[in-house]
Amino acid sequence: MRFFKIIYFFLIIFFYYQNSSFSQVISVNVNENGVFFSSDPTKTFLWESNKAKATLIFIPGGEGSLKLSDDRKDLKGFYGKTLKPLSDSTLTSGKFNVVVFDSPWPLAVGKDYPTSRTTSDHLARIDSVVDFYRNKYNKPIWLMGHSNGAVSVTEFYKYLQKNNREKAISGIIYSSARNGASFNAETNIPVLFLAHEKDACSKSSAQNSQSVFNDLKKTNKFKTEYVFIKGGESEGEPCHSGYHMFFEAEKDAYKAIDLFSSVFIK
């Protein structure tokens, strides 16, 4: 009996490590240099999946600066509950390595539009992180932008278009997007729109994102889908917590991302 208990114990340990993700902070140097670019590296937080077939790079909202320390081993809250499961095959397909982008300094949110997300330095940082993880894993890159982060993602895609490099990324998750974040008529890439039906943040209205979705749906040759998150709870300031951050509805969000991306990632 003791022998079988030992075997069972080791099988549990083996299963755990086969399906769990490894995490660490990685600093990425900026590929560009010059008067408009800072030499400060971009810190990224990585959840590495044992079953990854693609890499999801997440651009945070708000001021976009998490102030990651090199010894950080995990992220809690929205990050841990919504993003980490995408690297965990016990909760999802586990097909994503998940990367969280951390700006070295706060990005001004702006009254009408966060122009800090359009600067050459910011776009070069995203480009450098995309390039780094493409080379590291040699797997497709997906981008996800939440709230102000959706501005970063849409502006970066336009940056790629101008340089005829659209194929550098393979899919986009447009989540609780800041009003004003938009795609042009030449956009051709899988895009998943996520929003909570009760999001009360005036700067990220579901009505606005649905309008962006309707316009893109007419011209995008790839799958374009809109998913309303309906569960969860309201708490705190409407643009920094609660429905806007899928509070207590994180599972609905990561399941929607997993399902949508599964069409393209085999």
Q: CATH number of the domain that 201 lies in?
A: 3.40.50.1820
In a domain, 50, yes or no: yes
Has residue 8 been placed in a domain? no
Is the model more confident about 38 or about 123?
Answer: 123
Answer whether residue 36 is part of any domain. Answer: yes
* Statement: residue 154 has pLDDT above 50: yes
Q: Name the domain count of the chain.
A: 1
What is the DSSP code (8-state) at residue 101?
Answer: E
Backbone phi, psi, residue 98, to 5°? -110, 125
pLDDT exceeds 90 at position 259: yes
What is the model's pTM?
Answer: 0.91
Separation between Cα atoms, residue 51 and residue 97, nearest integer Å: 9
- For residue 34, the model assigns a pLDDT of 81
* In the predicted structure, residue 16 carries a pLDDT above the cut 60: no
Decide if 14 is inside a domain.
Answer: no
DSSP, res 82: I
DSSP 203: T
> Would residue 5 count as lying in a domain?
no
3-state secondary structure of 50: coil
> Domain span at residue 191?
23-262
- Does residue 18 carry a pLDDT above 60? no
- 172 within domain boundaries: yes
Question: Does residue 12 lie within any of the structural domains?
Answer: no
Domain-embedded: residue 115 = yes
pLDDT of 227 reads 98
